[in-house]
Amino acid sequence: MAPGIGGFGGLFPLGKDDLLSSIELALHGDSYLVAGTDGVGTKLKLAFETGIHDTIGIDLVAMSVNDIVTSGAKPLFFLDYFATSHLDVDLAEKVIRGIVDGCQQSDCALLGGETAEMPDFYAEGEYDLSGFAVGIVKKELVIDGNNIVAGDVLIGLPSSGVHSNGFSLVRRVLDRSGLSLKNQLPGNDLTLGEALMAPTVIYVKQVLDIVGKGGVKGIAHITGGGFTDNIPRVFPKGLGAAIYNNSWEAPPVFKWIQEAGNIEDAEMRRTFNMGIGMVLVVPKEVGRRIVEDGEHKACLIGEVVGTEGVSYL
């Protein structure tokens, strides 16, 4: 098998033994198909409460395509699964419109999907979502982290907010705060509902643009587990990350979550992306070029060190 369990996307080899046409072989040569599947977790609960359904589909696409692009793969197609008690056509249309938007942002085809009505399983007006993405990357261009060394640097791409992880904790904080989703986010023009429902950034075009310019050794999608669990997944054994504190500006929603919930720094870093949704591991000179270019609002957020784990400087 190709790179094994523990990565962000599963890779399947395409080679001369596969039933591919000669045209496909000429186009792709020996390649990997890269597959990913995910949902949006309990962010759906906030969609039900706020009535914001037209962006949750973007979150759904993002969770899968952001995973598979970490291997350097270009997404090819996406499929969705929409399950509900009784089909509300207007609501479903809003959700699917978001899925279409997400596919357009990631330049992949919405190949199909499945809609299931399960009245004995879901509460009236509620639904669940899953998504499945497949991409492709040539074998010689796979990004697997194997050549990462101490002294390489970590480049962070900014998030739009909480994205689609940590919402069980968010909902507990919201309950304890005594505020509603219609209340203003302190120091901001947005309501709490609008800030928390901000759609996940789709990093496909950004990442593939940076990868195409060379030098990227590893990529981590910062989802559940935050920096603590996700960054080490791309390192060879024996290496870790030192994160530079205050090297980027976190969206205001994280300050509110931490203060309202009285949450320790370590728990925030383990649960949320804290304003960085994707981390690229590159040599120093490449990192300098990416940051100075300014096109992707990238930040130098840390470096690779010879001690396992994630520390903060």
Predicted confidence at residue 1, as pLDDT, reads 38
Same domain, 184 and 299: yes
Which pLDDT belongs to residue 247? Answer: 93
Q: Across-strand partners of 265?
A: none
CB under 8 Å to 83, separation ≥6 — which residues?
115, 116, 117, 118, 121, 122, 127, 128, 129
* Residue 242, pLDDT score: 97
Q: Give the integer Cα–Cα distance in Å for 160 and 253.
A: 10
Q: Which residues of the chain have pLDDT under 50?
A: 1-3, 19, 22-23, 25-26
pLDDT tens sequence across 100-152: 999 999 999 998 889 999 998 998 889 999 999 999 999 899 999 999 999 99
Q: Where does residue 272 rank: exposed (0-12), middle (13-18), buried (19+ CB within 10 A)?
A: buried
Q: Write the CB contacts of 93 (distance below 8 Å, at least 6 apart in sequence).
A: none
Residue 16: per-residue pLDDT: 54
pLDDT attached to residue 23: 45
CATH number at residue 91: 3.30.1330.10
- Give the end of a domain, one of 141, 165, 190: 141
pLDDT at 21: 52
> What total of structural domains would you count in the chain?
2
Q: Are 172 and 302 contained in the same domain?
A: yes
Domain-embedded: residue 178:
yes
The per-residue pLDDT for 26 is: 45
Which range marks the domain in which residue 45 is found?
A: 10-141
Q: Are residues 68 and 183 in the same domain?
A: no
Sign of CA dihedral 269, 44, 82, 163: negative
For the stretch 239-256, pLDDT in tens is: 999 999 989 999 999 999
For residue 283, list its beta bridge partners. Answer: none
Same domain, 88 and 162: no
Helix (H) or strand (E) holding 77: strand 74-84
Clarify whether residues 270 and 164 are in a common domain.
Answer: yes
